[in-house]
Amino acid sequence: MNLTPPRPSGPRPNVPVILDGEEVMAFDGESILDLARRLGTPIPTLCYLDGLSVHGGCRLCVVEVNGDSRLPLACATPVTSEMEIRTDTSSLRDHRRRVVELLFAEGNHVCASCVSSGACELQDLAADSNVDHIHYALEFPRIDVDASHPKYVLDRERCVLCTRCVRVCDEVEGAHVWDIAQRGNRSTLVAELGKPWGEASSCTWCGKCVLVCPTGALSFKGRSTGEMRHDPDIVAFLASARDEGEWIDREEPSP
């Protein structure tokens, strides 16, 4: 499987394009996002992640291109010769702000009670795109938390459906535990086609999905308030195991 976007074929950038009014040279086949990042032009992203295939689902990286009435995705659109790209116009800022607001409206992104507050890409995007309130009526969905896995927690109310977890599990870990089930605003992240995560035997407990999650949807169990479980009896177990030379399986306290 091809894990990375196609590499630029030419050794030197030789495709002339205009990026925010400046004439620059792009690599042949390079995406608009790669070009912009290489030149230090910021374009906000959410579902895009270096090292994973391109999903193109969050619509935050949209740009304006002359002659195209739609807003192409910077992550999924290769540059072409003489392309005229604008990355930061008031209409793009407005569009991105609306996307962020819709993400907030769709879930229960309550930062105050979130394990990821202060380490959340959605929270940062809201601040960066001047979201100080949500214009849309909030959905207040009720979706159960899946805390069946011994190590990790899935809070679907905080999921933005970026599919980073789906892709990293499939493309990097090779386990393919995750998929998106249903459609539209019913779309939901499922383990092994709908099993509780703790019963998904294909999960290798690698934790990559948790590491790449942009929000508090996937988190390490035991990190939120009151979740710490001590295990002082381990010492007596170790001492007796050493004395007896016997290492019998021992049940750890459940998190």
Q: Which residues are near other proteins by CB under 8 A?
A: 104, 108-114, 117-118, 123-124, 126-128, 130, 132-134, 137-138, 140-142, 157
Pick between residue 34 and residue 157 the one whose CB is nearest to other proteins. Answer: 157
Pick between residue 30 and residue 146 the one whose CB is nearest to other proteins. Answer: 146
Closest approach of other proteins to the CB of residue 126, in Å: 6
Closest approach of other proteins to the CB of residue 105, in Å: 10
Closest approach of other proteins to the CB of residue 115, in Å: 11
Amino acid, res. 226: G
Closest approach of other proteins to the CB of residue 127, in Å: 4
Pick between residue 74 and residue 159 the one whose CB is nearest to other proteins. Answer: 159
Q: How many CB atoms lie within 10 A of CB 185?
A: 13
Pick between residue 43 and residue 131 the one whose CB is nearest to other proteins. Answer: 131
Q: Which of 204, 120, 113, 220 is nearest to 162 (CA)?
A: 120
Pick between residue 37 and residue 93 the one whose CB is nearest to other proteins. Answer: 93
Residues in the chain: 255
Closest approach of other proteins to the CB of residue 109, in Å: 8
C-alpha 215, offset from chain centre: 7
Contact at 8 Å (CB) between 122 and 128?
no
Amino acid, res. 144: D
Tokens of residue 252, six digits? 């750890």
Strand residues in 35-144 grouped as ranges (E): 64-65, 84-86
At 49 the three-state DSSP class reads coil
